Structure 1
Amino acid sequence: MGEPDGPRSDVWATGAAYERYMGRWSRLVAEQFAQRSADVADGLRWLDVGCGTGALSAAVAARRHPRLVVGADRSAGFVATARAAAPPSGPEHFVVADATCLPTRDAVFDAAVSGLALNFFPDPSAAVAEMARVVRPGGLVAAYVWDYAEGMSFLRRFWDAARRADPSAAALDEGRRFPLCRPEPLRAAWAGAGLADVSVAAIEVPTVFTGFADLWEPFLAGQGPAPAYTAALAPAARARLRDELRAAVPRNADGTVALTARAWTVSGRRPGRTQG
């Protein structure tokens, strides 16, 4: 994902920084999400909205054997990273585009999907309406977002530690800032776009860090809400946060930190003729 609107702390633009912080886990979720789309036939046309570095587009290409996958993102840096990673002969194509004003005609895709991006769009409802617009009748509209409030363990522990070190950090907590990332608000967003057969489910993946440094250092890169908060702290305050987080995360005998990350998926169909 990668939408540069909203607070500067929400900017996602550099593929390398995103990869170590979140990309390695987002790929695991993308694989499960694509695998669960088993009711979608092969050889179809997919649109990946807020495609970021292309993790979901790659998973769709590998698992669903599509005729075409178009990834769209407002970050030119992410689009460049996605293009560089895609095989030259593959079905993926990437464009710089706004999720709320997609540069395509109505009903030209069989599926429109979005991975870990919906809550960063300036107008999520408009983005879902656009996704519904560009799929054919009976087409799939689906997305997934992190469960920031409870199930995204390393971020939940980060923000809990941040609040202990600095009570004002509560206002920046993604669990508080993104109420959309819960089952009922997601269901309501899909129903509000006129989609049918709406369902919500959970995906949980392991997030195993080689040690505390492997967990902590990505927070220093400054990209994304939690890293931006960390990078803006004075050195002494950053050290307090580091120590609070270190005390809060469980470590195995070999020093690894084994946590889990949960995402919520939501899917529906554009009313009309069902997929044959």
Structure 2
Amino acid sequence: MTGQRFDVWTTGAAYERYMGRWSRLVAEEFTAWLDCPDGLRWVDVGCGTGVLSAVVTARCAPRSVVGVDRSEGFVASARATAPVSTYFTVADAMSLPVRDEACDVAVSGLALNFLPAPGAAVAEMARVVGPGGLIAAYVWDYADGMELIRRFWDAAITVDAAASARDEARRFPVCRPERLRAVWAEAGLVDVSATSVEVATVFTDFADLWDPFLAGQGPAPTYVSALPPAHRDRVRDALGAAVPGGPDGSIALTARAWAVSGRTAGSGG
């Protein structure tokens, strides 16, 4: 994933515990929704630790998968478990190291909002697929449906009003279906559609929920890692008071992502 100045993306294992485990659940639903035939050539843009690429490889019998990400640490994590049919490389999503029309499908999981120009990135994805090729992505519903992130920022803002500047709902407007459809249409794609994907995010206890915020991978953990200890404790306590605990100490939340797809003009597919 390509980060902005408020974000750190370097350590794959820490990101997996924070967000990768939930992204994997969404990736399963996302690939099922795409319903692609076997034997296609895929590119995974902003591939992170390889979550989406792994699901594509397992479910879609691809001819090949290329994963691209700017984070060397994330790419190293992706390579560590990649099958031989998957190739990961460190590169910029805004300038893919892939020739024109070399792929059949271009996908992106949870990366679009972290790119400097989402529309240009989608146009670049369209460049590398052939006529009628598929371009699809999913992003968290930062404004409402991704409860872990929403509850975190609401708690942080009660302690520190300045935290609102870091809130992903404010920073990343391309997190709702109407805006996603508009970005796809603006890139010249046709047959554009969007759908919601909701998964359960169940934490064994509050430590299971809170500890990943201490590892500094992603917007909210980057914010937490920069706080003085006393301030960090106040954010932790505010979040603990805001999440629902079960009789066994578990915390059951839900996470909604929005998925979008479209095709390049032409007779392929």
Q: Same fold, TM exceeding 0.5?
A: yes
Q: Percent of aligned positions with the same letter in both sequences?
A: 68
Aligned to 1:83: 79
Higher mean alpha-carbon deviation, 226-235 vs 47-56, is at 226-235
The C-alpha deviation readout for 1:63-117, integer Å capped at 9, x for no partner, is 1100000001111111111010113xx4211111111101121111000000000
SS of 2:200's equivalent? strand
Match of 2:266 among 256, 272, 276: 272
For the Cα contact (< 8 Å) 1:50–1:115, is it kept in 2? yes
Are 1:156 and 2:155 matched, yes or no?
no
Structure 1: give runs of 5+ residues left out of the alignment: none
Q: Give the Cα separation in 2 of the matches to 1:189 and 1:242.
A: 36
For the Cα contact (< 8 Å) 1:3–1:11, is it kept in 2? no
Structure 2: give runs of 5+ residues left out of the alignment: none
Match of 1:183 among 177, 182, 185: 177
TM-score computed with the length of structure 1 as normaliser: 0.96
Q: Give the Cα separation in 1 of the matches to 2:194 and 2:33.
A: 12
Aligned to 1:20: 17
SS of 1:83's equivalent? helix
Letter of the 1:41 partner, please give it.
Answer: P
TM-score computed with the length of structure 2 as normaliser: 0.98
- Write out the 4+ residue segments of structure 1 that deviate beyond 4 Å after TM superposition: none
Q: Give the Cα separation in 2 of the matches to 1:76 and 1:225.
A: 18
For the Cα contact (< 8 Å) 1:51–1:71, is it kept in 2? yes
For the Cα contact (< 8 Å) 2:130–2:268, is it kept in 1? no
Letter of the 1:151 partner, please give it.
Answer: G
Aligned to 1:65: 61
Match of 1:42 among 38, 42, 55: 38
Aligned to 1:3: 2
Q: CA RMSD in A?
A: 0.9
Count, aligned residues? 269
For the Cα contact (< 8 Å) 2:8–2:222, is it kept in 1? no
Letter of the 1:76 partner, please give it.
Answer: E
The C-alpha deviation readout for 1:37-57, integer Å capped at 9, x for no partner, is 21x210010000000000100
> 1:233, CA displacement in angstroms?
1.1
Aligned to 1:202: 196
> 1:203, CA displacement in angstroms?
0.4
> 1:200, CA displacement in angstroms?
0.9
For the Cα contact (< 8 Å) 2:176–2:258, is it kept in 1? yes
For residues 234-249 of structure 1, the aligned pairs below 5 Å read 234-249=228-243
SS of 2:130's equivalent? strand
Are 1:258 and 2:252 matched, yes or no?
yes
The C-alpha deviation readout for 1:205-232, integer Å capped at 9, x for no partner, is 1100010011011111112110111111
Aligned to 1:226: 220
Aligned to 1:135: 129
The C-alpha deviation readout for 1:130-181, integer Å capped at 9, x for no partner, is 0001000011000000000000001100000001111111111101110111
Letter of the 1:26 partner, please give it.
Answer: S
Q: Give the Cα separation in 2 of the matches to 1:174 and 1:101.
A: 25
SS of 1:34's equivalent? helix
Q: Give the Cα separation in 1 of the matches to 2:224 and 2:75.
A: 26
Match of 1:30 among 27, 38, 41: 27
Q: Give the Cα separation in 1 of the matches to 2:122 and 2:141.
A: 19
